[in-house]
Amino acid sequence: MFKKAMTAGIALAAFATVHVASIGAARADMPNPLTFGIISTESSQGLKKSFSPFLEDMGKQLGVEVKAFFASDYAGVIEAMRFKKVDIAWFGNKSAMEAVDRADGEVFVQTVDVTGNPGYWSLLLTQKDNDKLNKLEDVLNCDKSLTFGNGDPNSTSGFLVPSFYVFAKNDVDPKKCYKSVRNASHETNALSVANGQVDFATNNTESLSRLQKNHPDAYAKIKAIWKSPLIPNDPIVWRSDLDKGTKSIIKGFFLSYGRLGPNAEKERKILSGVSSGWAPFEDSSNAQLYPIRQLQLFKDKRKLAGDERMDAADKAKKIAEIDRKLEVLKVLSENQLALR
């Protein structure tokens, strides 16, 4: 395993060195300004503070102005990429999938957790002193007594993962089971739980770590009552129609940042302050989205199977199509694992 990691690291470094050296030749084709989209996991003020040092370094090294793009929800960043107002964006896996399918996006690198975690986990949070909510089963009663803070519909950990593992697998419809359901960012949901504005809410381990740093008083008031299976680290996505020279330069920057050169240590420190804390990026592709696509299809299949109003023949046809897609993804995933 160590030898494999060493080999991968050497390959990435060699790739980055070659492509950084080619910056001068292809810079003329790069968008200027280059716009970097940032999903709304917390307030735009907090995100701006977190990302600014990294984006400033990106601009200096690429020789263009790099502008941050914020939106009130994940869909805003996806649509901005679709209409070419965003060139590169940080997404979660679910929103990256939407960007690939709807906005001609393409995954090219992956974030890495600064603590070495291989990914992150979705959570359900409630107030620490709430003695009635201590485990998953405690929130699955459909008596309309609880208020629920759900995530952005395009969030992996805030919406898709709990939608499947918490609700679909337990045949629970949040809209029918709870007194109220509202969608918000990770930070807003956590603060709403801490302040008693909702009884429980979705979140994730990365966001919770950032909450502990930025809002320690709120962090002290909450507890996790459910933790999901592992979710892959977040992808960085670019517009697939960017020219090859521009892509080469951008990818070279990302793979060398914090790894190569006299400022590598300083760059790693900057990365550690981005979002919940990042280490140098790793190479990636749309293949990292295979598990998320499978999860979405499993969720869709369960919903179809439970729809008693749909024509039986039509239902069977749609389920068969989902099964076909799942089989294709299974083969693709197995091939991807074999290449590692």
pLDDT confidence of residue 111: 96
**How far is 164 from 172, CA to CA, in rounded Å?**
10
Domain match, 295 and 254 both: no
Per-residue buried b or exposed e for 120-155, using 16+ beta carbons within 10 Å of the residue's own CB: bbbbbbbbeebeebeeeebbeeeeeebbbbbbbbbb
User: Which 8-state DSSP code applies to residue 280?
Assistant: E
CA distance 289 to 293: 6
Question: Same structural domain for residues 209 and 124?
Answer: yes
63 plus 156 within the same structural domain: no
Q: What is the total count of domains within the chain?
A: 3
- Whether residues 319 and 333 share a domain: the answer is yes
Cα–chain-centroid distance for residue 118? 14
Q: What is the pLDDT of residue 337?
A: 58
Which strands form 180-183's sheet, in the order they lie side by side?
Answer: 180-183, 147-150, 200-204, 122-127, 222-227
What is the spatial order of strands in the sheet that 34-38 belongs to?
A: 66-70, 34-38, 88-90, 235-239, 105-113, 278-283
- Residue 18 confidence (pLDDT): 47
Q: CATH code at 197?
A: 3.40.190.10
Q: What is the pLDDT of residue 340?
A: 56
pLDDT, tens digit (0-9, with 9 covering 90-100), for 93-112:
999 999 999 999 999 999 99
Helices (H), 238-308: 244-256, 264-272, 290-305
* pTM of the shown model: 0.82
- CATH (domain of 318): 1.20.58
What are 131's two structure tokens? 């003695």
- The whole-number pLDDT of residue 25 equals 45
Q: Are residues 154 and 203 in the same domain?
A: yes
* Residue 40 near residue 152 (C-beta atoms within 8 A): yes
Residues of the chain with pLDDT under 50: 1-10, 14, 18-26
Q: Give yes or no for a cis peptide into 229 (omega within 30° of 0).
A: no
Same domain for 113 and 6? yes
Together in a domain, 7 and 112:
yes
Shared-domain flag, residues 247 and 330: no
Q: What is the Cα–Cα distance from 189 to 195, expressed in whole angstroms?
A: 10
- From 209, 231, 253, give the residue that closes a domain: 231
DSSP 8-state assignment for residue 289 = G
Domain that residue 220 falls in: 119-231
Query: Tokens 């179809």 appear where?
Result: 304
The answer on 123 and 89 residing in a single domain is no
The last residue of a domain, from among 231, 253, 274: 231
